[in-house]
Structure 1
Amino acid sequence: MLKVADLQKSFGNIAAVKGVSFSVEKGESFGLLGPNGAGKSTTINMITGLFPPTSGAVHIKDIDVIKNTKQAQKLIGIVPQEIALYQTMSARENLKFWGRMYDLSGNMLEKSVDEVLEIIGLTERAKDKVDTFSGGMKRRVNIGAAILHKPELLIMDEPTVGIDPQSRNHILETVKRLNTEGMTIIYTSHYMEEVEYLCKRIGIIDHGELIALGTLQELRETIGDHSKIVFTMEQKELNPKHLTKTLTSLFLEKDIHLNDNQLIIFHKDPQLVLTDLIQLVTKAGTKVTSVDIIEPNLESVFLHLTGRSLRD
C-alpha cells in the first residue's frame, strides 16, 4: 500500500527528517511512535503530498506521490493533529462540506454522512454546531471528515491529544473497527499504550531518524526480556555521579538511567537483584520513596534505545 524510501526533509540548516524508509502492507495498522518534535508530522506531511521532500521517494499503490500528488491523494484520508473544522457549522454541515471536497454529492453524499455519523457516535448531535462540542467530540468529527470517501489509506496524526478518556476510548475503538473492516491505517502518536493496542507493526522515530522497526514482540526483543526497575527518590538527596559509580559494580552502564528523581535499571530477573540494589542505593545516601517493576514495553524499548523517556 505504501513505500517510503530514504525520505529526507530540511528546513534551512535544520534536518527534520533524515533518511526514513519503511513500507506498509494493505490492511495493516502501522504505528509511528516518537516524542513531540521527533519528525512524525513532517514525515506524514511528505507522505500525503503536503510537503515536498528534500530527497527520497513515496509511493502509494505504485503511484509516485511526488510526481502524481493529486492522484495519490484520492486514496488517502487524513486526520490532522489540529482540528480542521468550521466551528459555527453543525457536525452534519461540516461533513457535507468535506464530502463535496471529495466529489461526493446527492444521495451518495447524504448516505456517506449518515454512515460516518453512526461510526463516530454523533448521530444525535448531528445538527449541533461544532463550537458547542467538547474537544473529544470535535476530534471525532475530524476523523469522520477523513473517512467520508472510504479511503484505502487512513493517516492519523496524534488524533487523541488533549481529550478526555471516554473520547479517547471511542476513537481507539473506531480506528480498530475501521482496520478490522480492511482499511489500512498509519497511526502516529507519543502515547505508547495506544500504539501497542492498535498497531501490529511499529516504527520508532527520534530526532528525524527511524531508530527501530518491527512488531511489538520484535521491538521488545531489542532489550531481551529485561524488566524495568524504577526507583523514585528524593531529588535533594540525589547524587547522580556517586550513584552511577556505585551501581556499576552490579550492572552494565548502558542498563542504568537517571532521569530527574528516578533511577531506572534494566535486568532480566529484577527479584534476584532487588535486595542488593536497595542496599546499594541506600548506601549511596539516597532516600527511596517508591519502587516499581515494569515488564518490557515500548516505553522501555525507547528508553533503552535513546537513553531518555518517550515523553521527555
Structure 2
Amino acid sequence: MVSKKNFNSIDLWKLFMAVAVVAIHTNPIVTWTNPAAVGIVVMIEEWAVPFFFIASGFFLFYHMQKPYKENIRRIDGYLWKIIKMYCVWTLLSLPVTIYGYRISGNGLVSCVLSYIKYFLFVGKLYNSYHLWYLLALIYALAAIRFLVKRGLKPMAVSAIAFVVYAVSEMMVWLEKNIDLIGGVAQKLVFLYQYVFNSGGVFAGMIYVSAGMLIAYYGVRIPKWIGVCAIIAINFGKFFTQAEISRIIMPVEVFILFASLLTVELKDSGIWKTCRDISTVVYLSHLMIFSIYTILILGNPNKLGLDSFLVTLIFSILNALLLIRIQKCRGFEWIRHIL
C-alpha cells in the first residue's frame, strides 16, 4: 500500500498539469521557433489529461476495500458525481456554446443535433473542449464498473482497456488512410468518425485502469529510474510515428505517476489548496479565455502569451474565490461541482 504522505507530490503535480492544460488551449509558445524547446513543452502538455485520468483511477481504487466487486457502490458514487459535474459545467458553458453555433452559420436543427451528438459522444463543444475529459471519465468508469462487478481482476480490466484504446487509435489511423480499405469497413470507419470524431471518449479507460493497477498492487518506481525511463521513451519517439507514440503514452504516464508516489513532500495545507485550485482551473479556464478573447479583445480564440497569462491568473483567482466561498453558509453546494 502506498503511504498517504506521498500524495502531496501528486497534488502539486496536478497543479502543474492544470497549467499545462491552460497552455494547450492558449498556446503561449505560438511564436517559438526552437524545435527542442517546443518539443519539451509539447511533451509536458501531452501528459496533462492522461495524468488526471490516472489520478482519478488511483484515488478511487486506493480508497476502495478489496475485493472491489463487493464495494461497487463506491464506483457508483464517483460515477454519479462526475455525471453531475459534466452536466453542470456543460450548462455553465452554454453561453459560449451558443455563441459558437451562432457564428457557425448553421441552421437551428443542425445546431441542436450537433449539440446532442457532441454532448453525448464527443464532449468537445465550442470553447468547452476540455470537458471531454469528464465525458471520457464517465465512459471509463461505466465500463470498469461493468467489468469489476463481474469479478474481473485489475490486470484483466487493464488488458481489455488496452484493447479498447488500441482499437480507438486504429480507427483514427484508418480514417487518415481510408484508401487502404473499402466497402463495409470504410463505411464503419466513416460512421465511427462521424459519431465519435477522434474517439477521445474511449481514451480514458486505459488510464483509469492504470491508476487502478497502481492502487491495487502498490506500484512505486524509484524516481531516478522513472526519470531515466521517461527520457528514454521520449528519445525513442523521435524515431517512431505519431501513432506509435500515442500507443506508448499510457506507459509513459504510468511511469510518471508511479515515480511521483516516491517523492515525499513535507505535509502542509498548501497541497490540498494546490489540488483544489487545479480542479477549478481545469474546469473554468476556457470560460476565462472566452471572456478575454471574445468580450475584451474582440478577437475570438486569440492565442499567445498574453492569453495564457490572463487566463491562468484569473483562473487561479477564480479558484481561490470559489474555494473560500464554498465554506460559507448557503454556498456549500459549490463543493459538489468541483
TM-score category by the smaller chain? under 0.3
Give the structure with the larger strand fraction: 1
**Greater relative contact order (Cα 8 A, min sep 6): structure 1 or 2?**
2
TM-score, with length taken from structure 1: 0.26
TM-score, with length taken from structure 2: 0.24
Give the structure with the larger helix fraction: 2
